């Protein structure tokens, strides 16, 4: 994406956002609340249309892309987007039916420990359980690009490790995995490429080694981002 700008009324969400993610890499978009992470990702998913600038995902403009493009792009929204009345496995099988050759739902369910609560309706799941179902929903189409908005928020440490491992495996299939996070630990441990954003712009980007050198990611982060106002 190049020079992305987006305003909501008087608020500037994006002010010239430029970065790229590669296949076979995990790209972490790291930044404080209100830095424009979600807006950026939503522009790339085709949920928002930028006021100016250009987004290309797999060579296409996501705002106008057709079903085959959407089939190749996995999405995990920050607020989940899961229908409340369904049970996790029924929902995942249903989403798999949108794809010509989806992932193995049973294997995905087992990998993420969803089988432990497969009979519970989404409404009654805990936050962490919902996160796992939403992550599975994003990966069920075997995407070439996966946009995951805070995929491990609310997960306990074990579930987080499981999710990271699954994301690494997904990356190793050649998928471009893009996660937003405000966790340095997540960025350090998971990301091949880190994009630090602040106030709608990229503050810096590069691999962990390129960014940090002698200093810690945490120090770099605080020196580049101001504390959010909310």
Partner 1 sequence: MSTASTGTEPDNHAAPARQRVLAQTRFETGTLLRNGEQLLVAIVLPAMALVGLALSHSPSLGPGRRIDLAVPGVLALAVISTAFTGQAISTAFDRRYGVLRLLGVSPLGRNGLLVAKALAVLTIELLQFLVIGGLGLALGWHPEWIGLFAAGLMTLVGTWTFVALALLLAGTLRAEGVLALANLIWVLLLGLGGVIVPPSQMPAGLSRIAALLPSGALGNGLRAAFIDGRLAAVPLLVLVVWGAVATVLASRTFRWSD
| Strand ranges across the sheet with 11-17 | 11-17, 2-8, 52-54
From CA 43, how far away is CA 34, in angstroms rounded?
15
87 versus 212: smaller Cβ distance to partner 1: 87
From CA 139, how far away is CA 135, in angstroms rounded?
6
From CA 203, how far away is CA 221, in angstroms rounded?
9
In the complex, minimum distance from the CB of residue 65 to partner 1, in angstroms, rounded to a whole number: 9
88 versus 141: smaller Cβ distance to partner 1: 141
In the complex, minimum distance from the CB of residue 70 to partner 1, in angstroms, rounded to a whole number: 5
| Burial of residue 227, with CB atoms counted within 10 A of its CB: 0-12 exposed, 13-18 middle, 19 or more buried | exposed
Are 4 and 16 in contact by the 8 Å Cβ rule? The answer is yes
124 versus 226: smaller Cβ distance to partner 1: 124
In the complex, minimum distance from the CB of residue 209 to partner 1, in angstroms, rounded to a whole number: 30
From CA 100, how far away is CA 85, in angstroms rounded?
26
Alpha-carbon dihedral sign for residues 29, 30, 31, 33:
positive
Residue numbers at the binding site for partner 1 (CB under 8 A): 45-47, 67-68, 70-73, 75, 77, 79-86, 90, 94-95, 97-101, 137, 141-144, 173-174
73 versus 108: smaller Cβ distance to partner 1: 73
82 versus 195: smaller Cβ distance to partner 1: 82
Structure tokens at 107: 């294997």
In the complex, minimum distance from the CB of residue 101 to partner 1, in angstroms, rounded to a whole number: 5
In the complex, minimum distance from the CB of residue 67 to partner 1, in angstroms, rounded to a whole number: 4
């Amino acid at each position: 994406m190049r020079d992305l700008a987006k305003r909501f009324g008087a608020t500037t969400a994006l002010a010239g956002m430029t970065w790229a993610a590669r296949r076979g890499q995990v790209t972490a978009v790291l930044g404080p609340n209100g830095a424009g992470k979600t807006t950026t990702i939503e522009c790339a998913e085709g949920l928002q249309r930028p006021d100016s600038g250009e987004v290309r995902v797999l060579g296409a403009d996501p705002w106008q892309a057709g079903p085959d493009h959407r089939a190749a792009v996995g999405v995990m929204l920050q607020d989940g987007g899961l229908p409340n009345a369904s049970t996790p496995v029924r929902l995942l099988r249903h989403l798999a039916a949108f794809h010509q050759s989806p992932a193995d739902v049973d294997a995905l369910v087992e990998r993420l420990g969803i089988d432990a609560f497969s009979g519970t309706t989404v409404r009654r799941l805990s936050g962490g359980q919902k996160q796992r179902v939403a992550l599975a929903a994003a990966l069920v189409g075997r995407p070439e690009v996966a946009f995951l908005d805070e995929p491990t928020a609310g997960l306990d440490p074990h579930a987080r490790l499981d999710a990271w491992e699954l994301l690494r495996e997904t990356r190793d299939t050649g998928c471009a995995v893009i996660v937003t996070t405000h966790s340095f630990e997540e960025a350090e441990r998971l990301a091949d490429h880190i994009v630090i954003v602040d106030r709608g712009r990229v503050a810096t980007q590069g691999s962990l080694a390129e960014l940090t050198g002698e200093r810690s990611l945490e120090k770099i982060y605080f020196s580049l981002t101001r504390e959010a106002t909310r």
